[in-house]
Amino acid sequence: MQKVKHIYLSRFMRNNMPCYNGGNNFCLVQVNSIGEGNRTNSLQISTANHVGTHIDFPSHYIANGKSLSDYSPSFFVFENPFICDIPMQNGEYITANHLMRSSISDKTDILIIRTGYGVFYNQDKYWNDNPGIDESAAKYIKSSFASIRAIGVDFISINAYRDKEAGRQAHIAFLSDPEVLIIEDLYIPSKNYNYSRITIAPMLIADADGAPCAIIAEIE
């Protein structure tokens, strides 16, 4: 039997990491240091809730929508992930037509879209020229794949920064009941692994409309 291995599909949070709108929404400060004579090392963290690899809940766009507190731990374990390759250029939107050509399995419970845009992570274009997903793609996923509970993308937001409105409408379409949660700013390796399970571990913030998260994938 082939040994199961684990990899992260989330990015480590750090100072000066890319943030939507080019903002500086994460700050990490070393407040104690053994090297400077303190007994311990200690960090202080200040962060917005939609930075780094993070998950959007319905209340992000839907009045009285569900928040993180409304989901059980079992919701965040996905047994049938599907990795979908859709190469995209600056500012382009993924549509239903792209997905129709992607042979998505009917058993899929989390759809991971790999565009290759992650190669620009350390460049300004990662946040100011990012691709997005439009409303037609959201409606196609929800009407054709009842088992999909979440989608994830390897770019900073499903709102293309230079044309935000189509992405806003996609957020509403995805997060309206029955919701498909959105994971943005994933790290997706270019190597084609066999993904057997994906687990999302959001930062447990009471009543949050979104939260940074660690994502662990089992590969064979």
Cβ pair 44, 29 in contact under 8 A: yes
pLDDT at 217: 97
Residue 103 belongs to a domain: yes
Nearest to 216 by CA among 118, 104, 110: 110
Nearest to 152 by CA among 93, 198, 119: 198
Its domain, for residue 203, covers 5-10+49-219
State which amino acid sits at residue 57: F
**Concatenated DSSP letters for 12-40?**
PP-TT---GGG---EEEEEEE-GGGT-SS
CATH of the domain at 80: 3.50.30.50
Residue 15 belongs to a domain: no
Residue 143 belongs to a domain: yes
Per-residue pLDDT of the chain (220 residues; tens, 9 = 90+): 567 799 999 999 999 999 988 888 899 999 999 999 999 999 999 999 999 999 999 999 999 999 999 999 999 999 999 999 999 999 999 999 999 999 999 999 999 999 999 999 999 999 999 999 999 999 999 999 999 999 999 999 999 998 899 999 999 999 999 999 999 999 999 999 999 999 999 999 999 999 999 999 999 8
pLDDT at 171: 98
Q: How many domains does the chain have?
A: 1
Before 178, cis peptide (omega within 30)? yes
Residue 17 belongs to a domain: no
Residue 93 belongs to a domain: yes
In sequence order, what are the residues at sequence separation of 6 or more whose Cβ sits closer than 8 angstroms to the Cβ of residue 84?
99, 102, 104, 111, 112, 113, 114
Residue 37 belongs to a domain: no
pLDDT at 3: 75
**Concatenated DSSP letters for 100-165?**
HTS---TT-SEEEEE-SGGGGTTSTHHHHS--EE-HHHHHHHHHH-TT--EEEESSS-SS-TTSHH
pLDDT at 2: 61
Cα 3 from chain centroid (whole Å): 27
Residue 18 belongs to a domain: no
Residue 34 belongs to a domain: no
pLDDT at 1: 56
Backbone angles phi, psi at 36, to 5 degrees: -105, 15
